[in-house]
Amino acid sequence: MTTNYVLVDFENVQPDTLAALAEGQFKVKVFVGAAQAKGRISFELSHSMQMLGASAEYVKIARSGPNAVDMHIAYFVGRLLERERDAVIHIISKDTDFDPLLEYLRANGVTCKRSKSIAEVAKIAQAETRARPALQKPQRAATTQHVPAPRKAHSEKLAPIIKQLHSLSGKPGTRKKLAQTIGNYFKQHGGELAEKTIEHLIDELIRLKYVTQTGPNVSYHLV
């Protein structure tokens, strides 16, 4: 199962608790600046870290300096992706300096997002959990209506597409650009798809109401 890594920029965001991450496949790293390490961390946060056990740890930055915490987080992301190419990365920070890095990673097939709070990450994870059972519906219909097997194979590709679209801050605005986004994703994950297959996948997204098409334009309903 894919692991969600939650990297907290504690210099920028100080969550009261991590309790919202108690359910699910989360590993939490709280990056604490050198000056902060000498201060006080709330009992609620420390207790929720303990409740997560080995899935949570503090990362103490040895020295103070401009963007010291940011650079440590970026380094950790790089090392992580060397080991786990399919890891899902959430950076908790209000610092928009992370955005160019995340955009580059998404363009290269990495599922990653910057959020401003722990609650926002938990909400995203819950939405993805709700999306997975919904993907079973076209499979049941395929059995009942004797839809040919290739259609069922298409439906199995929807979950990673929905997950990828959810992670994008700038989603494709037209059906043509959506097709290009899907094509580029599968070039990075499992091999290139035929144009006809991509069009079938978009039709399924529309049929399941994850996507609405008006003329050449598309809009999204992923949560």
Chunked into runs of 10 residues, the chain (223 residues) has average pLDDT values of 87 86 84 76 85 89 84 93 91 92 91 90 70 48 39 60 84 92 85 88 87 89 72
Asked if residues 174 and 216 have their Cβ atoms less than 8 Å apart, the reply is yes
pLDDT for position 192:
84
pLDDT for position 149:
36
pLDDT for position 37:
60
What are the Cα distances from residue 213, in Å, to 28, 111, 202, 219?
Answer: 38, 25, 10, 7
What is the C-alpha to C-alpha distance for residues 103 and 170, in angstroms, rounded to an integer?
9
Query: What burial class does residue 219 get, using C-beta atoms within 10 Å of its C-beta: 0-12 exposed, 13-18 middle, 19+ buried?
Result: exposed
pLDDT for position 25:
79
Among 75, 94, 126, which residue's Cα sits nearest to residue 11?
94
Q: Which tokens belong to 5?
A: 């890594």
Domain 135-220 has CATH 1.10.10.10: yes
pLDDT for position 145:
40
Give backbone dihedrals phi and psi of 6, rounded to 5 degrees, phi first. -110, 115
* Residue in the block written with tokens 């009261």: 16
Amino acid symbol at 87: A
Give the global pTM. Answer: 0.56
What is the C-alpha to C-alpha distance for residues 140 and 149, in angstroms, rounded to an integer?
12
pLDDT for position 143:
41
pLDDT for position 22:
79
pLDDT for position 177:
92
Residues with Cβ within 8 Å of residue 121, at least 6 apart in sequence: 4, 6, 20, 21, 90, 92, 115
pLDDT for position 1:
64
pLDDT for position 205:
87
Burial readout 95-130 (b: 16 or more C-beta within 10 A, e: otherwise): beebeebbeebbeebbbbbbbeebeebbebbeebee
